[in-house]
Amino acid sequence: MEDKHQEFIKFIQTNWNDSIHFEVDQHRILNSELQVNQVYSLINFLYKDLQFKVNNLIDLCGIHFPDQKGKELGVIYHLQSLRIPIICRLKVFVPVEKPEVPSITGIYASANWMERETYDFYGIQFLGHPNLRRILNMDEMIDFPLRKEFPLEDPFRADKEDFHFGR
């Protein structure tokens, strides 16, 4: 099995870009961190490749690291080959001041909902998305609830006051 992982890594470095580095974790998932300008082209390359057929988008989600200056927000892609047992985890990080990542809805139609959800909860703009708007939260909401600066309690709720609990 490990030889398939090494074969895949060598294939990517030879045929696409030798600056991409993958590491295999304890769960045998291939991990790589990409630059924003590499995301769409690498995912498109993997999707169209006939040898490994990485044509299943398992998941796309956001992440927030407020202490990493210039890399506060991120998008994580989980891709799977249906021909051989390989799963790739691709990560891309962007600054909170300009949270823009290219949309992959042109490659995977299933990315539509996932990108909208990531935008809704993290505020990451997916450039080229056909209908990027809130999907689960109210349209009037101005915050992004999965960012770490979002308050856990609603400051306007009166039912949480201490006097309601005999304090």
Q: In CATH, what number is assigned to the domain containing residue 100?
A: 3.30.460.80
Beta bridge partners of 57: 79
Does 165 fall in a domain? no
With contact defined as beta carbons under 8 Å apart, do 78 and 88 qualify?
yes
Instruction: Give the per-residue pLDDT at 2.
Output: 64
Does 159 fall in a domain? no
Does 38 fall in a domain? yes
Give the chain's domain count: 1
Quote the domain boundaries for residue 107. 2-150
Does 163 fall in a domain? no
Give the tokens for residue 158.
């009166």
CA neighbor of 46 nearest in space, from 84, 74, 73: 84
Does 158 fall in a domain? no
Print pLDDT tens along the chain (167 aa).
568 889 999 999 888 877 888 999 999 999 999 999 999 999 999 999 988 999 999 999 999 999 999 999 999 999 999 888 899 999 999 999 999 999 999 999 999 999 999 999 999 999 999 999 999 989 998 889 899 887 777 667 777 677 767 76
Does 116 fall in a domain? yes
Does 161 fall in a domain? no
CB within 8 A of 52, min separation 6: which ones?
8, 11, 46, 81, 83, 84, 86
Does 166 fall in a domain? no
Instruction: Give the per-residue pLDDT at 95.
Output: 97
Q: State the pTM of this model.
A: 0.88
